[in-house]
Structure 1
Amino acid sequence: MRRMGRSYNWIKMNPAQMLSVGFLILIGVGTLLLMLPFATKDRHHLSFIDALFEATSAVCVTGLVVVDTQTTFTVFGQIVLMVLIQIGGLGFMTFGVLIAIMLGKNIGLKGRLMIQESLNQLSIEGMVRLVKFVVGFTLIAEMIGALILAIRWSSDFGFPRSLYYGIFHSVSAFNNAGFDIMGQFRSVTEYAGDFTVIMTLSFLLIIGGIGYIVVLDVKRNKSLKKLSLHTKLVLLMTLILNILGTVFIFALEYDNPGTLANLPLKDKLLGAFFHGVVPRTAGFNSLNTGELTLGSQLVTMLLMFIGGGSGGTAGGIKVTTFVLIFLAVRALIKEEDEVSLMGRRIPKDLIVRAFTITVYSIGFIFFILFILSITENAPLNVLLFEVISAFGTVGMSMGLTPELSATGKGVIAFMMFAGRVGPITIAFALARRKGKAKYKFAEEKIMIG
């Protein structure tokens, strides 16, 4: 028994390490499946780097692609991508716990800690109930979205293709993945003025991106006053960022012949709204991203960097992190001792964590940008757009993704993984645990600013 215990010591990993390894295993399985000859229409398997990139993009619910999904993959290959998106969006731990529950297994402390890490929760209390809610809500939302899209597309594609298209795009939208099977790098630009398609996809993107804990809080507490500070903040910031994104894109692209100029006013508003929503963090595009003005590119990059709500399918540093950074800076300027919001004091450890996440994220972005500036021949703004899109698991591109070198594909794949798992989680997974120091150094001030 002792020998057996010693042989399994390597399995003793912290939740951050388990989460990272779990995603890597899922990516590996997806890569092998996509390399099978019958996964592609020409029966010639994808190269390893292309299959790895596609699998990483699906598992990390990003949407960046090096090959066109519709023309490259068979139905089998597309279903593999859809399953990877679903598991990646839910979180492999959530999916694993669901299977364990169905088999009547008990979920131990280690499993609950893993769920907590996967869904970015503050406590392990009620984790199993949360998993059941997450899965149930996800399936119901995706089913409603799939039916609406299937009915709308029935006149374009006929049945059962319209149903298949509805299911695929509903899963892709709710999980903020941005994969589409509409054709050669078109995404949903063909439906830029279609109210039903745009609003259905937008609804799925927003609901999936705000975070499951927000949806559950709204479900439990019907009154606005009873909602938690986290829920109020996420809902408010989602509304503000969507409105500001729409206004800026509408104003900056109004006279741009490559995007909104040639559209009627209704379609301009719809296109601007959709482009204001998708950078946080979906990947679909109703406008030609490569034709955006420089101002719109900057707005889009900022929205991609901020992302959506914690514990959902969105990426980025999260809206709550962004707000805490802003509030901390404001408090410092006003020489206030505490950071407060809506009549509540924010713990200092959360402020430190928010700054840490932001600094780590910016560091990751600049490191990857530096590497791509060496390996790729593209303008700096195009490279930066690609890097932030990968980090925010957005999937929007200015056309660079299919042109990436093998090294570039590997680097962007790593960035998608880092964006989905989180730079802090990766740092925790790689770091060696140290006990608390038994002494403290003498304090001395240095000049800053």
Structure 2
Amino acid sequence: MHNILTPRFWSPFQMIVMSFLGLIAAGTILLMIPAATAEGKGAPFLTAFFTTVSASCVTGLTVENTGIYWSGFGQAVILFLIQIGGLGVVTMAVTLTMASGRRIDLMQRSTMQEALAVPQLGGIVRILRFILKFTFGIEAIGALLLMPVFCRDYGWSQGVWMAVFHAVSAFCNAGFDLLGTRGGGSLMAYAGDPLVNLTIMALIVAGGLGFITWADLHVNGWRFRAYRLQTKIILTMTGLLIVVPAAILFFQELSGEPFGLRVLESLFQAVTPRTAGFNTIDIESLSEEGRIILVVLMLTGGSPGSTAGGIKTTTAFTLAATAAASLRMRADVECFSRRLAPETRQQALTIFLLYLMLFSGSTYLICVLDSIPVVDCMVETSSALGTVGLSIGLTEKLGSISQLVLCGLMFFGRVGALTMIYAMHARRRPSLGRMPEEKITVG
């Protein structure tokens, strides 16, 4: 108990968990203030809590329409939560420490290493500076590209705010939008606008690749062979997870659309389930097969050390590579002239099983509590667990218990499976011995 209540005894993993809990508590209080809502009455606790969890965990699921229900102040709070949640509370805390001229201690460096999935402790400050410059630079470019469209439709003052909000929301893979019900919701009003589509997609991919991946690309340029193994895996999986689903959606779900619109919509809906949450087509109109594709993409998510959630592209790759090696009767898992470490394979399996249990258990629970079809529940739970935000319109109709279940899934999906595991076992004593080994038959 002493270790739990005393911050100086917290491990880096516990620090990450507690920092997000603190952000959620602060955001909930701010959104309950009367000035946060358009009507000036303040949001009920569950509405404020759900919105705060969704924003700080960069998910995008909402129980109230962001562009209509919240005032300018409320929207600014949500944007602040998205930015802090995307970069990480620890990252912003260390940034403030640097800005004040104070020295970053070993504990902060270690926490930063875990939060950003940095392979080594050295060079944390240099990497942090790169992350901040890259993040705000990309978001600024995205906002500038979106301004002509939004300023044309909403006027200069509102258009600039809309451009900034959607650029940050896209890069942080949050999926919150301020368009209200225009065009059917989300970005459906701009389904045929190449500038909006390509800009939002680029921001989503940029945020989902991971900061360490971008640092590797920054150092090595276009020399693919010089990249770290993790970077090669992330780039390969990202490409596959965009091209293959886009082709399926193009030929199966959007066959009745004009060719140009069909290309944009299929590409956009292949990119956005990777934890972004925007949509340019009506998700409710998708067939069950199309919804299953979205579920798989949402559970996979982005890359380690990024603004995205999900089981991560590296985890999915490790599981697939392990299965391929097993089918070929090989003990080692090899890729790109490298061998994956056994502990990496074990961690990937653990993460996958945890996500599978949470996904299936929460789907069953919400089905029972709210009497909703299984596939529809799968979309909502995978969207929450993968911190995506895509919805078929069920979230606001769910009961209080089901909404709290989604809150738990969003928090777990953002913090990460390994962080939660290590946070709970940070002070566990090492085993002093090993039990005798015995083989069993499987398969």
* TM category, shorter: over 0.9
Report the alpha carbon displacement of residue 131 of structure 1 after superposing the two structures with TM. Answer: 1.1
1:186 aligns with 2:185: yes
- In the alignment, the residues of structure 2 paired with residue 19 and residue 176 of structure 1 have an alpha-carbon distance, to the nearest angstrom, of 19
C-alpha deviations, 1:80-131, integer Å up to 9, x for none? 0000000000000000011000001111111011111211222212111111
C-alpha deviations, 1:40-71, integer Å up to 9, x for none? 01111111111100000000000000000011
C-alpha deviations, 1:212-231, integer Å up to 9, x for none? 11111111112222111111
Task: Give the direction of change, closer, same or farther, for the CA distance of 1:432–1:309 in structure 2 (3 Å limit).
Answer: closer
Residue number in structure 2 paired with 1:147:
144
Report the alpha carbon displacement of residue 9 of structure 1 after superposing the two structures with TM. Answer: 4.8
Residue number in structure 2 paired with 1:332:
326
1:177 aligns with 2:174: yes
C-alpha deviations, 1:302-321, integer Å up to 9, x for none? 11111111111111111111
Residue number in structure 2 paired with 1:258:
none
Report the alpha carbon displacement of residue 428 of structure 1 after superposing the two structures with TM. Answer: 2.2
- In the alignment, the residues of structure 2 paired with residue 413 and residue 10 of structure 1 have an alpha-carbon distance, to the nearest angstrom, of 25
Amino acid aligned to 1:15: P
Report the alpha carbon displacement of residue 156 of structure 1 after superposing the two structures with TM. Answer: 1.0
- In the alignment, the residues of structure 2 paired with residue 70 and residue 281 of structure 1 have an alpha-carbon distance, to the nearest angstrom, of 20
Report the alpha carbon displacement of residue 427 of structure 1 after superposing the two structures with TM. Answer: 2.4
Q: How does 1:332-351 map to 2 (within 5 A)?
A: 332-351=326-345
Of 279, 283, 286, which aligns to 1:289?
Answer: 283
Residue number in structure 1 paired with 2:161:
164
1:105 aligns with 2:113: no
Q: How does 1:363-402 map to 2 (within 5 A)?
A: 363-402=357-396
1:224 aligns with 2:224: yes
C-alpha deviations, 1:333-392, integer Å up to 9, x for none? 211121110111111111111111111111111222222122212111011110011010
Of 128, 132, 138, which aligns to 2:129?
Answer: 132
- In the alignment, the residues of structure 1 paired with residue 7 and residue 208 of structure 2 have an alpha-carbon distance, to the nearest angstrom, of 35
Q: TM-score, with normalisation over the residues of structure 1?
A: 0.95
Dislocated runs of 4+, deviation >6 Å? 5-8
Task: Give the direction of change, closer, same or farther, for the CA distance of 1:126–1:375 in structure 2 (3 Å limit).
Answer: same
Residue number in structure 1 paired with 2:48:
51
Q: How does 1:177-216 map to 2 (within 5 A)?
A: 177-184=174-181, 186-216=185-215
- In the alignment, the residues of structure 1 paired with residue 211 and residue 418 of structure 2 have an alpha-carbon distance, to the nearest angstrom, of 21
Of 401, 404, 415, which aligns to 1:410?
Answer: 404
- In the alignment, the residues of structure 2 paired with residue 9 and residue 406 of structure 1 have an alpha-carbon distance, to the nearest angstrom, of 32
- In the alignment, the residues of structure 1 paired with residue 264 and residue 5 of structure 2 have an alpha-carbon distance, to the nearest angstrom, of 56
- In the alignment, the residues of structure 2 paired with residue 129 and residue 443 of structure 1 have an alpha-carbon distance, to the nearest angstrom, of 46
Task: Give the direction of change, closer, same or farther, for the CA distance of 1:91–1:335 in structure 2 (3 Å limit).
Answer: same
Q: How does 1:427-442 map to 2 (within 5 A)?
A: 427-431=421-425, 433-442=427-436
- In the alignment, the residues of structure 2 paired with residue 212 and residue 199 of structure 1 have an alpha-carbon distance, to the nearest angstrom, of 21
Of 261, 270, 273, which aligns to 2:267?
Answer: 273
Residue number in structure 2 paired with 1:80:
77
- In the alignment, the residues of structure 1 paired with residue 369 and residue 11 of structure 2 have an alpha-carbon distance, to the nearest angstrom, of 35
Question: Is the Cα–Cα contact under 8 Å of residues 170 and 204 in structure 1 kept in the other structure?
Answer: yes
Question: Is the Cα–Cα contact under 8 Å of residues 334 and 340 in structure 2 kept in the other structure?
Answer: yes
Amino acid aligned to 1:119: L
1:94 aligns with 2:88: no
Of 65, 68, 81, which aligns to 2:65?
Answer: 68
Report the alpha carbon displacement of residue 28 of structure 1 after superposing the two structures with TM. Answer: 0.6
Secondary structure of the 1:160 match is: helix
Report the alpha carbon displacement of residue 431 of structure 1 after superposing the two structures with TM. Answer: 3.1
Amino acid aligned to 1:246: A
Question: Is the Cα–Cα contact under 8 Å of residues 11 and 426 in structure 2 kept in the other structure?
Answer: no
Residue number in structure 2 paired with 1:236:
236
Report the alpha carbon displacement of residue 433 of structure 1 after superposing the two structures with TM. Answer: 3.1
- In the alignment, the residues of structure 2 paired with residue 291 and residue 6 of structure 1 have an alpha-carbon distance, to the nearest angstrom, of 51
- In the alignment, the residues of structure 1 paired with residue 240 and residue 359 of structure 2 have an alpha-carbon distance, to the nearest angstrom, of 25
Of 13, 31, 42, which aligns to 1:34?
Answer: 31
Question: Is the Cα–Cα contact under 8 Å of residues 306 and 317 in structure 1 kept in the other structure?
Answer: yes
Residue number in structure 2 paired with 1:20:
17
Give the superposed CA RMSD. 1.5
Amino acid aligned to 1:137: F
Amino acid aligned to 2:430: K
Question: Is the Cα–Cα contact under 8 Å of residues 3 and 9 in structure 2 kept in the other structure?
Answer: no
C-alpha deviations, 1:202-244, integer Å up to 9, x for none? 0000001000111111111122221111111111211111111
Between 174-183 and 122-131, the greater mean CA deviation after superposition: 122-131
- In the alignment, the residues of structure 1 paired with residue 199 and residue 4 of structure 2 have an alpha-carbon distance, to the nearest angstrom, of 52
Structure 2: 5+ residue runs without aligned partners? none
Between 180-189 and 135-144, the greater mean CA deviation after superposition: 180-189
Question: Is the Cα–Cα contact under 8 Å of residues 252 and 295 in structure 1 kept in the other structure?
Answer: no
Question: Is the Cα–Cα contact under 8 Å of residues 360 and 424 in structure 1 kept in the other structure?
Answer: no
Report the alpha carbon displacement of residue 171 of structure 1 after superposing the two structures with TM. Answer: 0.3
C-alpha deviations, 1:377-436, integer Å up to 9, x for none? 211101111001101000001110110111111110111000000123222222363322
Aligned residues: 439
- In the alignment, the residues of structure 2 paired with residue 405 and residue 427 of structure 1 have an alpha-carbon distance, to the nearest angstrom, of 29
- In the alignment, the residues of structure 2 paired with residue 374 and residue 432 of structure 1 have an alpha-carbon distance, to the nearest angstrom, of 35
1:300 aligns with 2:294: yes
Question: Is the Cα–Cα contact under 8 Å of residues 315 and 420 in structure 1 kept in the other structure?
Answer: yes
Task: Give the direction of change, closer, same or farther, for the CA distance of 1:138–1:186 in structure 2 (3 Å limit).
Answer: same
Q: TM-score, with normalisation over the residues of structure 2?
A: 0.96
Task: Give the direction of change, closer, same or farther, for the CA distance of 1:239–1:418 in structure 2 (3 Å limit).
Answer: same
Question: Is the Cα–Cα contact under 8 Å of residues 146 and 167 in structure 1 kept in the other structure?
Answer: yes
Percent identity, please: 36
1:316 aligns with 2:320: no
Question: Is the Cα–Cα contact under 8 Å of residues 64 and 396 in structure 1 kept in the other structure?
Answer: yes
- In the alignment, the residues of structure 2 paired with residue 36 and residue 17 of structure 1 have an alpha-carbon distance, to the nearest angstrom, of 29
Amino acid aligned to 2:361: F
Task: Give the direction of change, closer, same or farther, for the CA distance of 1:431–1:265 in structure 2 (3 Å limit).
Answer: same
- In the alignment, the residues of structure 2 paired with residue 125 and residue 360 of structure 1 have an alpha-carbon distance, to the nearest angstrom, of 31
